[in-house]
Structures are given as C-alpha cells and as structure tokens.
Amino acid sequence: MRHDRSECVSPATAALVRMFGEFRLDTVGGTPLLPSNRRGMLLVSLLCLQPDYSLDRERLCQLLWPDRFPAQAKASLRQCLLDLRRQCEVEGCPNLLVVTRSAVALNRDAVQSDLAALEDALAQGDALHAAALIEQIGNLPLLQAVTFNPDFDSWLAMKRQEVEARLRHASARLVGQLRAAGETGTSARLSGAVLARYPAIRSLADVALAVLPFGQIDQVGGDFFLAEGVTDELVSRLGKLEGIMLAGRTSVLAVAARGQTLTEMAASLRVTHLIEGEVRRTADRITVNIALIEGTTGTELWADRMEGSIEDFFESRKVIGNNVIAAICRVLGLALSPAPMRRMTANRTAYSLYLQGRSLVRRSMTDGAAAKSVELLEQALALDPDFAECWTALADAHVHNAVYTPCLDRVERSRKAAECARRAEALDPGQGHALAIQGIHEWSRKNPAGALDLAFEAYAREPRNADVALRLGSFLLYIGRTRAALPFIEAGVEQDPAYGRNHVLLATAYFNLGDMERALAAAQRTVDLGMPGMWLAVFEAANGDHEKAVATYYAQRMLMNTVILPPAGTEPMNEAMRDAYWGIAARGICSGDEVARAAYCAMLDGLHQTMPDPCDPTIAFPAIWMGHAELVMTIYRECIHPANMFGLMSLWADAEPIRQVRLHPGFMDFAEDVGLIEAWNRHGWPDLMPADPRGA
C-alpha cells in the first residue's frame, strides 16, 4: 500500500507510518526514517498498534531486550530513544516522541499511520473513505514478516488479533448504521471491502439465522432425543459456514419460550431468517419437517420432508449436511463453503445423554438441573470416553454449577472443568471453547496472564463462537482493558442478544468508559431479560440519581430464593430479615450517605468473618461497589473462583466510591499478589493506568 499524502495529513503531521504490509516510516516528504535502527523501528511499530500510541517502558524493555538484566535493558532503551530522537531531528521531525519516566509515546498529532486513518474513518462514520482505505490495504497483514524474539512475536500475534477485532467490529457497526439509514449503496461498498479482507466475518453477513427448537410428536414414548439432535446438527453445521451469523443457543431458547410470533422472534434475535421444524415418531418411522422462514414477513421460503428409521437418521448426519444445508445456502444465495466435519460419537445412547445433559447446562439455576446435567454428561462419557464435544459440555456444566449453584467447592469445580476441557482439546484441537474454559481456572490459580493467553488462542481457533468471544472480552474487562474488551463483548452480544449475562458485561464496559447513557440502557436491558438489577442501581447512583438507585436495588429482594440464591451454607431469610438486609444494602451502596456506607461495610466485614464462603459474591460485589478497598483486596487475595471473578470488571470505573479500591496505597501490592501485574505486562496496562504508576 502506498501513502496518499493528499488525505488525512494535518499541518502538524511530520511522519507517515505504513502498518499494513511491510512496515515503513517516512517523513511527509517521503524520506525514509530509521532505516538502520531496527529496534527503533520496532518501537515505533509497537506504539502505533496502541490506541493511545503509548507503552510502558518496562514492557518495552521486556519485548526488545529480553536477554538483558533490567538495569541493562533500561539503559539500552534510553540509548535507543536518544538515537531515535536524534535521527528524527535530523530529518525535521523533532516532536515525534513523548517520553516520561514510566512510558514512551508517539505524538499522535505528528504521526499519521494507515491503521489510525482507517480507525478514524470508521469512528467518524466516513464509510466511503474507510472502504477506499480497506480496498487499498487488501489482504496485507499488519506488520508483515515482522519478527524479533519469542516474547515479542507472541505479544505481536496477540496485538494483531486485537487490532483486527477492533476493525471488524467497527466496520460491522458502521455497516449496520448505514443499512438502518437506508444507505444501501454506501453500506454495500463498505461491506464488500471488509468481506474481501475478512471473508469469514459474521457480523457483516447479509444473512443472520436462528435455528428454533424443533417440536416433537412421539407416539412411542420412552427416551426420544431426535428433535434436539436435528437442531444440534443444524446449529453446528450452519455455525461453521462463511457469510452466516448464527444466533446463540441461549438467546434462541429464551426467546422461543416467550410465545412470540415468528416475526417477533426474528426481531428479538436480530436475525433475517428462522429455521423451524418438527419431528414425528411412530412405531416404525421417523419424519422430519424443516422450513426456512423469512424473518420480516414470516413467509416460508423453502421446506423439506425426510423420512426413515431412527437408525437411518442417527447414522447418516450427512443427510442434513449434504442436503439440508446445501438447500438452505442455495435459497439464500450463499456459496456452500466447506466446513470441518464434527468428531461426534457413534454411540446412540451416549449422544442422547449428551443432548439431554447439555440442554440442562443453561438451566443451572433450576432446582436439580445443575447436578443432573453433570450426571447425564458423565454417563455419556462412560459409554464413549473419546466424545470430545461431550467433554467440553461437561466442562461448561462444571463452570455453570460453580457460578450459579450455591456451593463451597467452587475452586474444585473449576479445576474439574479445566481437566475436562483439556481432555476435549486433546481429542479435538479445534475446540476453542475448551481452551477458554481452561482460562477460567487460571484465574482461580491467580494466573490472569495465562488465562488471557488461553482466551486469545481460543478466539484464534473459534472466532465465530459467541461464548469464546465473550470469554476473551470478559477477561480483558477483568484486568481493566475495557477498550480492548468492548469489540469482543459487543460482537458476542450481537450474536447472543437475549442472554442477560452478556448485557451485564456490556453495561459494565460502557460504565467503565464513562458512557453513562449506554451503560444505563444496557443495564436496563439486563433487567428486562430477567437478570438482577444491582448493576443498574449502581450505575444510577453513579449518575447522581441516588433515590431511584436505592429503590432499584431494594426491589431486587423480591428475586431472593429464585434468581438470587442464598449463599452456600446459609438458610433462606424470612421476609422481615430479607427486607431489613436489602434495605441496609441499598442505602449503603446507592444512597451516597457515608454513614449508611460505613454501616454496610461493617456488616460485610462481619459476614466475611462468619459466612461459610467468606469470598462469596454477595460479599465481594458490594465491597467493590462501595470502594471498601481493604475487604476487596482481602477477599481476592484469599480466593478467586468462578462466581466472584465476575466482580473484578467493576473495579475499573473512574467513579466514586468504586475508584477508592484502585487508589488505595496497597493496590499495586495486591495487583502483584493476584497476578494482575504480570497480566498487564504481557497484555497491556489498564485504561485507567496506561503505565506502571510505580515509575521506572
């Protein structure tokens, strides 16, 4: 790609950087800069990958001089910066660098890169300019052929994924806005350019599909799983096709239970088309009816009918793969791209148990569902221990049980989940979701850096899996890298829009970024989807509406013993105790009254001393929201488990009193103890702490 010096160059611009393809740094006049200073060029390229053009000096030392002692590496960095400054001054670029004791940055006004120009065009809604830039870039990778050492190469690979995810998401959002505004020509131009660069992108697809649960009519009775099996096969195969965005299973199940019309369901799921069907079983025959429905009108576009014995259907999933999928693609005008075959079980009973167990995983809060899901999946694996997808489902079940079921062995359950996930990955290396689940246990081991390593690798293997994208987004959110997390979270919400947990992540991300309007809207959506409204109350309080926030928080008491379960080892409260406790909590968190806050902090201190699980979310989350720094740091030093790690995302709002945890004098020691410092050094420092505040 060539530099076009007629566009996007302000009067202050002194240097132009090419990031796509082979790296190049030129003056505005076209003179190459730093041709013989390799580390200087690497340093500039790394800074251009950062949204704020800034990197911590210690991280630069680790990346560029990993084989030297810290003092030597720091001296080498100082000399490199001095040489770089001198060379730039000679070429008339004296203000290229901004150097402090803790960080190195490029002067954004003085440097213009092709990457920054593209991101600016997308952010400003300049679709035609963005399309032109993407067309010029073509398929050129970021920093093509740039390599240095294993640590550097690993960090760069992670950064490439992060930047490309930002670009894909920003492009998809702008295409959606253009389509909604009726600007079909412009949206088609941008969509075509992006799809040419990212042929497997889902969020730009013209086709968004939801496979509805199939009805079943059984005249035989007994164990009957074929309806679930047909939808499972359809979802798995369609989910691997290019050009299709597939709605998440959790959202589909939630919407299907509302009794809406087909057009209403399509609107709720944000899809263009629906697939519905029915399975009938008689004593000697299975009949499957499948139909493709246009979402906006409810019109049937295509239908098919298949008949045979149950053995026929179980043994010949190719019927669905070769016939049904091909027909759907043909009707929708899509090319039938090859998809990898699933490594499923040949044992019909194991498959039945797997389908039943997996269907219970997302209903973990239903009485008895949690234990039953694990039981069924373990039975399936006893019949076929090489059933990779069942190992992943069992890992997922252990995680859901650890999060949503009151229990005192949450760390042990996360360990079991990691073991199952490792088994799944060993059997099928394509199981990206299994890698992401392993990352959860790394948090329990106080290894968030390792958790993010696994999450990024999971995303590289399964970028189309909403659970994988959301897991990566949540891990980035937990370490305070909200801007980096947002594209993954928004993409996951787009694919799985009726799952309340996803909107909690989205609302918190907007809150951390100070976007109160979006935070409140997303938090209200969580309530509309049946999630507890404590986050909404916290955001209302931060927005200054204390009276409303207290009422919102207090109203959540009505969810006790249903959506909100009593902490492990405790008995349900009677109504009087419940109302009194929630009243104290609502005033302590949301009223802005320091006396009420102190009273609830003292109560939480007592609960931490006496409750069977002293690190339960019912203690940890309120402590964060009230900025009770000592208790927060005590809890997470003692134990991070799948149920309380969700609260870490709330540490990163620059709002009172939450910020008191981050501003506590002992916070950096705490961050070191729980592995956050290592994660920041490897994956980037938090938005609120762009560099190590302890100095060089």
Please, what sign has the CA dihedral across residues 215, 217, 222, 227? Answer: negative
pLDDT at 1 (0 to 100): 30
Residue range 178-230, pLDDT digits in tens: 877 878 778 878 877 887 777 655 445 567 899 998 888 877 766 557 788 88
Q: How far apart are CA 457 and CA 628, in angstroms?
A: 35
State residue 8's pLDDT score.
Answer: 47
Clarify whether residues 138 and 222 are in a common domain: no
- 130 and 212 share one domain: no
Same domain, 146 and 216: no
pLDDT of residue 4: 41
Going from the C-alpha of 471 to that of each of 235, 249, 437, 465, 539, the distances in angstroms are: 20, 16, 8, 10, 23
Structural contact between residues 554 and 607, judged by C-beta atoms closer than 8 angstroms: no
Nearest to 270 by CA among 360, 322, 203, 315: 203
What would the pLDDT profile of 434-469 be if each residue is shown by its tens digit? 999 999 999 999 999 999 989 888 887 887 788 998
Whether residues 230 and 108 share a domain: the answer is: no
**Are 163 and 312 in the same domain?**
no
170 and 219 housed in the same domain: no
Is 696 contained in some domain? no
Q: Which domain holds residue 119?
A: 15-181
Question: Do 398 and 417 touch, CB atoms closer than 8 A?
Answer: yes
Please state, in angstroms and as integers, the Cα–Cα distance from residue 270 to each residue in 176, 274, 397, 470, following that order.
11, 11, 27, 18
Question: Within a domain: residue 20?
Answer: yes
pLDDT at 11: 60
- Domain containing 211 — which CATH number? 3.40.50.10070
The parts of the chain modelled with pLDDT lower than 50 are 1-8, 202-203, 696
- In total, how many domains does the chain have? 3
The verdict on 163 and 82 lying in the same domain is yes
Are the C-beta atoms of residues 472 and 462 closer than 8 Å to each other?
no
Query: Do 141 and 27 share a structural domain?
Result: yes
Who contacts 72 (Cβ-Cβ below 8 Å, separation ≥6)?
Answer: 65
682 falls within a domain: no
* CB-based contacts of 370, cutoff 8 Å, min separation 6: 360, 364, 397, 400, 401, 404, 405
Q: Residue 612 carries which DSSP code?
A: S
**401 domain residue, yes or no:** no
Judge whether 320 and 236 are in contact, CB under 8 Å: no
- Tens of pLDDT, residue by residue over 622-672, are 999 999 999 999 999 999 999 999 999 999 999 999 999 999 999 999 999
* pLDDT given at position 671: 97
Q: What is the pLDDT of residue 547?
A: 97
DSSP annotation string for 380-423? HHHH-TT-HHHHHHHHHHHHHHHHHS--S-HHHHHHHHHHHHHH
The pLDDT of residue 319 is 58
* Of the residues 307, 342, 377, the one at which a domain ends: 342
pLDDT of residue 588: 98
Q: Looking at the structure, do residues 64 and 166 belong to the same domain, yes or no?
A: yes
Query: In this structure, are 139 and 56 located in the same domain?
Result: yes
Q: What CA–CA distance (Å, rounded) separates 420 from 680?
A: 28
Instruction: For residues 172 and 239, state if they share a domain.
Output: no
| HEC readout, 626-679 | CCCHHHHHHHHHHCCCCCCHHHHHHHHCCCCCCHHHHHCCCHHHHHHHCCHHHH
pLDDT at position 2 is 32
Cβ-contact 302, 327 below 8 angstroms: yes
Q: Which of 285, 316, 342 is the last residue of a domain?
A: 342
What's the chain's Rg over C-alpha atoms?
Answer: 27
Q: Please tell me the distance from the alpha carbon of residue 264 to that of residue 298, in angstroms, as a whole number.
A: 9
Within a domain: 114: yes
Q: Is 646 a domain residue?
A: yes
- Joined tokens for residue 456: 């990024």
DSSP 572: P
Q: Same domain for 170 and 253?
A: no
The count of residues in the chain is: 696
Q: What are phi and psi of 287, to 5 degrees?
A: -125, 130
Last residue of a domain, one of 309, 342, 375: 342
CA distance 572 to 561: 7
Q: Is residue 520 part of a domain?
A: no
pLDDT at res. 418: 97
User: Does 91 fall in a domain?
Assistant: yes
Beta-bridge mates of residue 99: 104
- Assign residue 90 a region: left if phi > 0, alpha if psi is -120 to 50, beta otherwise? alpha
